[in-house]
Every structure is written in C-alpha cells, then in structure tokens.
Structure 1
C-alpha cells in the first residue's frame, strides 16, 4: 500500500446513544479483500434505530441490541479503491482508483439460505455496520471482505451519487415483490428516499396508474418527478376513498408501505382490493397492530415482506446513470464525518431531509 495513512478517523458504537469519533488503525486488505477510501456514506432509518438502541427484532431475546459494540456503523456507501488484496483485482475486475459499491450484506455462502440462492437472507446475516465481523462505512477507510459482492461504478456516474445505490436497490426489490402488472393501480405510501426510489422503479414497470402518498408537499412534487401519475396528501384527502373512487370501488391492486408508520399499514389494508398484494418495507419504531381479519377472511391478501436488495444493484446503478431520479434533490444534506451526531438528528427528525450523507473528506 502506498500513500495510505496508518491511522484514520472513524465513528465507533459503544452502545445506544454512545457513538464516539475516534482514531483507529487503517485496515490492511488480506487475500480477496478490497480497501477503499470512503467517498460518502448515508444515514438511514436503520442507523437511527440502531443509535436509539431499539431491538433488532421485536421479541428476539437472543439479540436484544440492534447493533453490536466496537463497530463502525454505516451500510450505505461508495468508496474509491486504494489497495487490493491478492486476487481481488481479478475477482472483481477492479483497479486502484475505481469507485466501487458493495452490497450491504456479506453472505456466508454456507447456510441453507445461501446454498439455495437466497443469499440476502443469510443466517449469520453480516450486514456492514452492525456486527464486528463486517465493519461499516462511517470512517475514512473501510474493507470490503473477501466474500463481499462488489460493483464498479461507471465513470460517467458522479461518485457521490453512488451513495444512493444501496437505498435504491432496496426500493427496486420492494417493487419487484409487488409483482406489478401493466393493468395494475399501484399505491406507494411514503415518499422519503426509499419511497421515491420505489416510485421511480415502479414507473419502469409501467402500471396503468401510479399513486404516491405523503404528508409533505415537497416530497409529493419529487414523486411526480420520479414518475407518479397521481399524488395525494392523507392530511388533505381521504386517500382510501380516493383510491376506491379511481378503481370503481375495488381498491388498488398493489400497495407498497414505505413510511414506517402504523397508520399507513392500516390505511393500506383498507385501500387495497380483494386478492391484492401488500408489500412491507419499513423500519418501525414501535409495534404495529392491525385487524388480521382483513388480511384473511375479508380480502385474502398477498402479504409480501421485502428485505435488502438481491440482484438489484446493477439496475440501481443503471437507473442513477440514466438520471431516472432527481438525485440532487434527494441528497438533501452533506456533512463531514465529524458531524455524524448532527446527521443522526436531522435524519431522525425527517421533516427537512431525505437522504443525509456523511463525507469523510469534507471539511467542517
């Protein structure tokens, strides 16, 4: 390695609410590993939940903490290659100076899910920034492990925009889970960063009607830019009735929930037609209770979860390269790494932000 410092600045998790800005050694890449200089790293709802100390999964007593200690957070990122472990250049077709992203999960390749091709549900589930085995991106440098799934960004794409590949890839997977048809009326509830990605991805499916819901007028404007045919504000409109009115009283065919609010879940169950498809992709702060009779006896709904972003990174990169989203409007806040606490506060508040980005190389 040349021109790489021995030490770096990094954010370290010591526990809920106890994240510290420290000096740590720059890691060295072993065989098959890639060392990158972090260009940008995002803050998502999962990071906020982790910082607050909420449980990983409700009722999972074996893993009460959302994030392990002594971990560098951050699973949304883009880096520039500065060193390659033996064989990594050939394996990933990378060279020094390339900008590269890595899927947020590093699959073990050995569990039943990995062996069956469902690598994103890997049982050990090493996601960057949550476990000591896979350190995250809130640092000046980070390693992509030997089992990581990496993608080189095209030179025509602004490297900063690469920070949105991970969220957009997740959005694409959620839309794919909806099995959208050409005659469908599709409703996407929530036009945050993920929701806007879903609108753009759903537009590529060309449904008969694409409806976006949000309480924020500015976000609804961005949803139109992403391809929504109709935008509705639940604070101003009875959206359940409006959806029924535009579907001859039946309800929408597909409802994708992207708010993380219990009210949106209930709203979707009422707005969707019989035999419709409900897709859930959200990080909830609290438990959600709904009338399961609607799901079963009343409507016989298809309820689909959506987790991570299997096989969607190449599509996300192409969408960004083609300018299918108003990305400069989505990356609302750019802060130096040292201001990570401010970034968490902005992301947690949410009223004035879409995607908060930390840039280790950015000056205060």
Structure 2
C-alpha cells in the first residue's frame, strides 16, 4: 500500500447548487473504523435532488432538511481498505488491500427498527453523503464508521461497475417487495440504473413475462439485454392497450415504478390487474396526485414502497460478479472528480448517459 497523504481532494456541498472541489485533510479512522481509498463513486437521482436544494416535506409540514451542510456527497461507491484496527477487521472480515463497499445507511443498531432486523428504517440513521457525521465518497478517501455494513467485492470488476452494487441492491429490494411468482407479468417503468436492475432482478424470479417501459430506444434495447421479454416505447405506443393485449385483457400482475415521473404512477395503476401489486421506488421532484378509487374500489391493489437495499447486497454482489448484466453499456460515463459538475449535468439531462461515476485520483 502506498503512503497515506495528509490531504486530499473532496467535493463539498455548501448548499443548493454550491458544490466545490476542495483540498481537505485525509480523515483519520477511530476505534473500530476503517479508512478506505475511494476507487469510484456513482451519481444518482437523489444526489441530483440534493444538489438542487430539495427539502423533504410531509403534507404541509416541512421535515428535516435533505442534507446537512457542509458535507461531502456520495453514497454508492467502492474502494480499497488502507487502514483499520483489529476490531474492524474481525467484525467485517476484511484486511488492508481488500476491495470493499458499504451499504449506504449506517444504522444505530439500537432503535426499534434495527432490533427487528429492519435496519434500513433506522430512526436516527446516518447515510453517507447526506449527514455531516458520515461524509460520502466524492473524495480520495473516506471513513467506514464502526456501525457500517461492509461487503467485499471482486477486484476483477472495473471500479465503476463494482460501484453499481448500490443501485442494484436497491432494485433487488423493490423486486423482493413485489415478490413476483412464476406466472406473473411484471412491468418495469423506466430503464435507468434502478429500472435495469429491477428487470434483471425480476428475470431472476422467472416470471411469465418481464415488460420494460421507457421513451429512449437505446435504453429499451439495453432493457432487453438485461432480461426484459418486451420493450415498449411509451412515446409511440398506448401502454395500457399494449399491456391488456399481452395479458388477455386482465392487466399486469406487478408494476415496478423506477422513473420518478408523476405520470408513471397513474400509468401503473391503469396497467395493473385487479389485486395487482404496485411497488414505488423513485426519487420524485414534485408531489404526485392519483385517483385513489382505482386503488380501493376499482381494483383493491397492493401499493408498496421500497427504500434502500436491506439484505440484498450479497445477492447484488453475486449478480455483478456473475457477468449476467451488460455492465459496459450500463456504466456509460466515468469522469475525474474535478468534473463533478459535468457528471451532475449528465445525470440531470438523462439523455446521454445511463450510469455516471466519478473516479478520484
């Protein structure tokens, strides 16, 4: 291992659209912690939402701010262990030099949810890149706190592809929430990173049919390579009519929403059969209104949310290492840390990229 420097480059969020590349001290791990040299960090929709200054709301009452500033963003990453003590090595089963990733949430392990195994719902939780006590991976080095969930990942994968484990784990959790059966028709809305992971995860359940929806022909082609049986361009086709035709007039059994666009919610309610299952996994930029009569009186639907990727990371690692996903075409852009603004702009556009990652030097 090379000598650890005293300072490093890091992107620091100071407020809405005020991100700066800064020289900061390399953090020093405390008891039970690990220092990790970052190899790649992905940019996702929640990073973009944070960049534009989003605040969480509950009805008319403002909740906690989406991010605590100043903080280094970045919650989907991979890196190499460069320093840790015996306690951390024994807890995580890792050594200096190992390639590792960490789940994006750092639970307290003491609240009601953590004690029930629902650690992704941890009440006083921290998430890398959003809380000051857990700086993220848009930096040369980062700390894995003592309470982190850490996983090894193959050194044979290119860094940006290994970092795709985070969005993939989230997608697999959404599939688990839906729990599709062998006879189900599963519709996935959106063929971005999460949607493509949903398609691969749904295909692994061997349902009757997996149908991908998007407006971009290149992403629909990629969806077919990830396991979709049908790929429908919603800009050219009446989606509801097409799904009804595929299902003998009944509608889809499962609808996985991964676009973050309000129109995709109503679309899902309309393409589902009676007693179908709707799973929402998106970052929305605005409120969504739907006719709840469809959910209740018309169809008696199961409407579920999905958050993070609890207990799915080992499966996501195995899926990446298996080679089943066309990762060269999913991980489209790798940029130096200094080009973080271009990376955010690419994600914001959504037209030129699928997965954008930053590669610290």
Q: Tell me if both proteins adopt one fold, taking TM over 0.5 as the criterion.
A: yes
Deviation at 1:157, TM superposition (A): 3.4
- Measured in 1, the distance between the counterparts of 2:85 and 2:350 equals 40
The aligned counterpart of 1:117 is 117
Q: CA deviation at 1:65?
A: 2.8
Shift of 1:339: 0.9
Q: What is residue 200 of structure 2 aligned with on the other side?
A: 200
- Give the aligned partner of residue 294 of structure 1: 294
Residues 60 and 107 of structure 1: is their aligned pair in 2 closer, same or farther, counting only changes over 3 Å? farther
SS of structure 2 residue aligned to 1:56? strand
Could you say if the C-alpha distance between residues 2 and 332 of structure 1 is closer, same or farther in structure 2, counting changes exceeding 3 Å? closer
Alignment CA distance shift 1:93-1:261 (3 Å): same
The runs of 5 or more residues in structure 2 that have no matched partner are: none
Q: Report the Cα offset of residue 324 of structure 1.
A: 1.6
CA contact (8 A) 1:212 1:223 kept: yes
Matched, 1:328 2:328: yes
Q: Is the 8 A contact 1:333 1:357 kept in 2?
A: yes
Question: Aligned with 2:195: secondary structure?
Answer: helix
2:138, 2:337 within 8 Å by CA — same for their partners in 1?
yes
Deviation per residue, 1:223-248 (Å, 9 max, x gap): 00001001100111101111011111
Structure 2 match to 1:153: 153
Q: Does 1:74 align with 2:70?
A: no
Write out aligned runs for 1:33-72 (5 A): 33-59=33-59, 61=61, 63-72=63-72
Counting matched residue pairs gives: 361
8 A contact 2:107–2:126 mirrored in 1: yes
| Alpha-carbon separation, structure 2, partners of 1:57 and 1:355 | 28
Q: 1:1-364, aligned counterparts within 5 Å?
A: 3-59=3-59, 61=61, 63-361=63-361
Given the superposition, is the C-alpha separation of residues 69 and 59 from structure 1 closer, same or farther in structure 2, using an over 3 Å criterion? Answer: farther
1:81-106 CA distances to partner (integer Å, 9 max, x unpaired)?
11113411111111111110000000
Deviation at 1:61, TM superposition (A): 4.4
Stretch of structure 1 that moved more, 41-50 or 331-340: 331-340
Residues of 1 paired with 2:68 and 2:60: CA distance? 15
CA contact (8 A) 1:211 1:228 kept: yes
Contact 1:31/1:86 (<8 A) preserved: no
Question: Are residues 2 and 248 of structure 1, via their aligned partners in 2, closer, same or farther at CA, if it must alter by over 3 Å?
Answer: closer
Distance 1:265 1:44 in 2: 20
Runs of 4+ in 1 over 3 A off after TM superposition: 57-64, 155-160
CA distance in 2 between counterparts of 1:62 and 1:87 reads: 40
- How big is the shift at 1:198? 0.6
Does structure 1 retain, via aligned residues, the 8 Å contact 2:188–2:212?
yes
Q: Tell me, in whole angstroms, the C-alpha distance in 1 between the residues paired with 2:154 and 2:346.
A: 31
> Which runs of 5 or more structure 1 residues have no equivalent in the other structure?
none
1:35 aligned counterpart, secondary structure = strand
1:87 is paired with a residue of what secondary structure? helix
Give me the CA root mean square deviation. Answer: 1.3
Q: Deviations over 1:107-162 (max 9, x none)?
A: 00111111111000001121110011111001110000000000011344344321
* Residue 31 (structure 1) shift: 1.3
**Is the Cα–Cα contact under 8 Å of residues 42 and 160 in structure 2 kept in the other structure?**
no
- Contact kept, 8 Å, 1:213 with 1:234, in 2: the verdict is yes
The CA distance in 2 between the partners of 1:314 and 1:158, in whole Å, is 18
2:56 aligned counterpart, secondary structure: coil
Using the size of structure 1 for normalisation, the TM-score is: 0.97
**Larger strand percent:** 2
Asked if structure 2 preserves the Cα contact closer than 8 Å seen for 1:192 and 1:354, the reply is yes
**More displaced, 170-179 or 89-98?**
89-98
TM-score where L is the length of structure 2? 0.98
